[in-house]
Amino acid sequence: EDRNLILAFESSCDETSVAVIENGNKILSNIVATQIKSHKRFGGVVPEVASRHHIEQVTYCIDDALCEANVDYDDLDAVAVTYGPGLVGSLLVGVTAAKTVAYAHDLPLVPVNHMAGHIYAARFAGELHFPALALLVSGGHTELVYLSGPYDFKIIGETRDDACGEAYDKVGRVLGLTYPAGKQIDEMAHKGHDTFHFPRAMEKEDNFDFSFSGLKSAFINTVHHADQIGEKLDENDLAASFQQSVVDVLAEKTVRCLKEFPVKQLILAGGVAANQGLRTRLDEELQAFDDVELIKAPLRLCGDNAAMIGAAGYEAYLAGIRGGLDLNADPSLEF
What residue numbers does the annotated binding site for substrate cover? 136-140, 169, 182, 186, 275
Which entry of Zn ion, ligand KG4, none binds 183, CB below 5 to 8 A by partner kind? ligand KG4
**How far, in Å, CA of 188 to CA of 99, rounded?**
43
Q: Which residue from 304, 307, 309, 329 is in contact with Zn ion, where contact means CB under 5 A? A: 304
Work out whether 268 is an interface residue with ligand KG4 (CB under 6 A): no
Residues 59-98 that bind ligand KG4 (CB under 6 A): none
Which entry of ligand KG4, Zn ion, none binds 282, CB below 5 to 8 A by partner kind? none
Work out whether 169 is an interface residue with ligand KG4 (CB under 6 A): yes
Dump strand ranges (E) for the chain.
Answer: 5-10, 15-22, 26-34, 78-84, 109-113, 132-137, 142-149, 152-158, 265-269, 293-296
Helix (H, G, I), strand (E, B) or coil at 144: strand
Give the nearest distance from C-beta 13 to ligand KG4 in angstroms: 6
Dihedral (Cα; 200, 205, 210, 212), 10-degree rounding:
-30
Which entry of ligand KG4, Zn ion, none binds 168, CB below 5 to 8 A by partner kind? ligand KG4
**C-alpha R_g of the chain:** 20
Binding segment for Zn ion among 57-65, 76-84, 204-212, 303-311 (CB under 5 A)?
A: 303-311
DSSP per-residue codes, 73-99: GGG--EEEEEEESS-HHHHHHHHHHHH
Q: Which residue from 16, 29, 35, 138 is in contact with Zn ion, where contact means CB under 5 A? A: 138
Give the nearest distance from C-beta 120 to ligand KG4 in angstroms: 13
Annotated binding-site residues read: 114, 118, 136-140, 169, 182, 186, 275, 304
**How far, in Å, CA of 265 to CA of 114, rounded?**
21
Give the β-pairing of 132-137 and 142-149: antiparallel
Work out whether 143 is an interface residue with ligand KG4 (CB under 6 A): no
Binding segment for ligand KG4 among 42-50, 89-97, 178-186, 210-218 (CB under 6 A)?
A: 178-186
Annotated binding-site residues for Fe cation read: 114, 118, 304
What sign does the dihedral 154-311-4-91 (CA atoms) show?
positive
Work out whether 274 is an interface residue with ligand KG4 (CB under 6 A): yes
Work out whether 82 is an interface residue with Zn ion (CB under 5 A): no
Specify whether the CB–CB gap between 321 and 31 falls below 8 A: no
Specify whether the CB–CB gap between 82 and 12 falls below 8 A: yes
Give the nearest distance from C-beta 133 to ligand KG4 in angstroms: 18
Give the nearest distance from C-beta 114 to ligand KG4 in angstroms: 6
Question: What DSSP designation does 210 have?
Answer: B
| Alpha-carbon distances, residue 180 vs 124, 230, 287 (angstroms) | 25, 27, 32
Give the β-pairing of 142-149 and 152-158: antiparallel
Binding segment for Zn ion among 20-28, 135-143, 235-243, 273-281 (CB under 5 A)?
A: 135-143
Binding segment for Zn ion among 30-38, 51-59, 138-146, 223-231 (CB under 5 A)?
A: 138-146
**How far, in Å, CA of 171 to CA of 272, rounded?**
15
Work out whether 238 is an interface residue with ligand KG4 (CB under 6 A): no
Binding segment for ligand KG4 among 54-62, 134-142, 284-292, 312-320 (CB under 6 A)?
A: 134-142
Binding site residues, Zn ion, CB under 5 A: 138, 304
Binding site residues, ligand KG4, CB under 6 A: 13, 138-140, 165, 168-169, 180-183, 186, 270-272, 274-275, 303-304
